[in-house]
Copies of this chain bind each other. A is one copy, B any other.
Amino acid sequence: MQVGFIGLGNMGSAIARNLIKAGHAVTVYNRTLAKAEALKGEGAAVARRPAEAARGAVVITMLADDAAVEAAVFDADGILGALSSGAVHVSMSTISVALSQRLAAAHAKAGQTYVAAPVFGRPEAAAAAKLFIAAAGPAKAIATCQPLFDAIGQRTFVIAEEPVKATLVKLSGNFLIAAIIESLSEAVALTRKAGIDPKTYIEFLTNTLFAAPIFKTYGGLIAAEQYSPAGFAAPLGLKDVRLALAAAEAQQVPMPIASLVRDHLLTVIAQGGADLDWSALGQLAARNAGLPVK
């Protein structure tokens, strides 16, 4: 399939690579050209402007935040003006519900189709084509994209016909991860202060009731106090929790744990931890318990 791919960060590069490997004709665009050039050797065509990546049946965006997506779509040389009628824009980025709604409306008005297909997984999972995909959009468009999803993930879940619902599933999912990190942080602070070895403790948890990867990953980081380098930095975590809270406020839904996690991430950053992984909530919990921290 002729596919455009915009946004070649850690996640995006890995995903684009898997699309190429699967035999698709991929035209990549990245604001910093070097990252696009890097994929040339693997068979990618390189676009100089987002619009050039939007000439096929599908264009995928995988960008850092709302502002980046807005620029790629709505700017003069953006994909909205370039995408042909009937073609599909698949947004894999974690964006606000408000922007997702705006994209749906704008593409519909232009006779194009918008699919939200945010992914779950860290860069390692992206490289291994083991992402989970939460897709929402018109059934026909999802069917069109399915071979692409198959090339990059281990499983696709179709959430609904309205794209914005997949956006919300992604935001709520990241909220759940943040809530688990905070909960583990508190539990580890308690047991560590009582003299229980954190690694033994996490091993117990992750081999019994809490045998999910999420507990292994974050429990391990907290037990080892390994908050740097950041796999997902605290400010990105704060951004996603803020987007979840904004979506919830728009729906009139209080989410007190999200509020609490937001305040703690803000504290982590205010105390100098902007470069730390969001699991540095564990460091804050330790500090609040009067424990020595690395």
Residue numbers of A with Cβ under 8 A of B are: 120-121, 132, 134, 155, 157, 159-160, 162, 164-165, 168-169, 172-173, 175-177, 179-180, 182-184, 186-187, 189-191, 193-197, 200-201, 203-205, 207-215, 242, 244, 247-249, 251-260, 262-264, 266-267, 269-272, 287-290
Residue of B nearest to A197 (CB): B160
Measured between beta carbons, the chain B residues less than 8 angstroms from A287 are 271
> Interface of chain A, helix or strand or loop or mixed?
helix
A270 to chain B, nearest CB (A): 3
Knowing A159-B204, A168-B194, A289-B270 touch, does A259 contact B255 (C-beta < 8 A)?
Answer: no
Q: Among B208, B213, B242, point to the contact of A120 (Cβ < 8 A).
A: B208
Contact between A244 and B190, CB atoms less than 8 A apart = yes
Q: Which of B120, B187, B203 contacts A172 (CB 8 A)?
A: B187
Does A247 lie within 8 Å of B187, measured CB to CB? no
- Quick one: which of A175, A193, A194, A195 has the most chain B CB within 10 A? A194
* In the complex, residue of chain B having the shortest beta-carbon distance to the beta carbon of A253: B289
